[in-house]
């Protein structure tokens, strides 16, 4: 498989290899909705999902535990995809 964006190949790999590459680097935390902006400004947030109680599950990419409260979780192909797209975003001056 390959991940494509902006007319360029960002990653050419297999799903298995791709997830193995980031194993141990995906962290989750349940946060309050109001805390999302702060978390996004501080950490490399890949995705966030609402829970029924109005809290959010955030998935963060970091080589080490980002902070207390984060729990390491298994890497998924969605993480690989979001990491590739985030790394491709233009850097704001």
Of the candidates 48, 77, 46, which has an alpha carbon nearest to the alpha carbon of residue 60?
Answer: 46
Of the candidates 9, 11, 7, which has an alpha carbon nearest to the alpha carbon of residue 79?
Answer: 11
Neighbour tally for 74: CB within 10 Å: 9
Least Å from the CB of residue 8 to another protein:
5
Residues 33-92 that bind another protein (CB under 8 A): 77-78, 81, 85
Stretch that binds another protein, among 2-10, 22-30, 51-59, 66-74 (CB under 8 A): 2-10
Least Å from the CB of residue 78 to another protein:
5
| Alpha carbon distance 60, 37 (integer Å) | 13
Among residues 3, 31, 60, 83, which is the contact residue for another protein, using CB under 8 A?
3
Among residues 1, 30, 67, 71, which is the contact residue for another protein, using CB under 8 A?
1
* Distance from chain centroid for Cα 17: 17
Residue 9 within binding range of another protein, rule CB under 8 A: yes
92 SS3 class: coil
List contacts with another protein (CB under 8 A).
1-9, 12, 14-15, 77-78, 81, 85
């Amino acid at each position: 498989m390959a991940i494509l964006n902006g007319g360029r190949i960002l990653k050419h790999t297999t799903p298995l290899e791709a997830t193995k590459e980031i194993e141990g680097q995906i962290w989750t935390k349940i946060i309050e909705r109001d805390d999302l902006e702060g978390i996004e400004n501080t950490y490399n947030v890949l995705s966030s999902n609402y829970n029924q109680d109005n809290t959010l599950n955030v998935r963060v990419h970091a080589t080490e535990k980002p902070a207390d409260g984060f729990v390491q979780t298994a890497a998924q192909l969605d993480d690989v995809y979001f990491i590739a797209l985030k790394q491709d975003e233009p850097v704001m001056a």
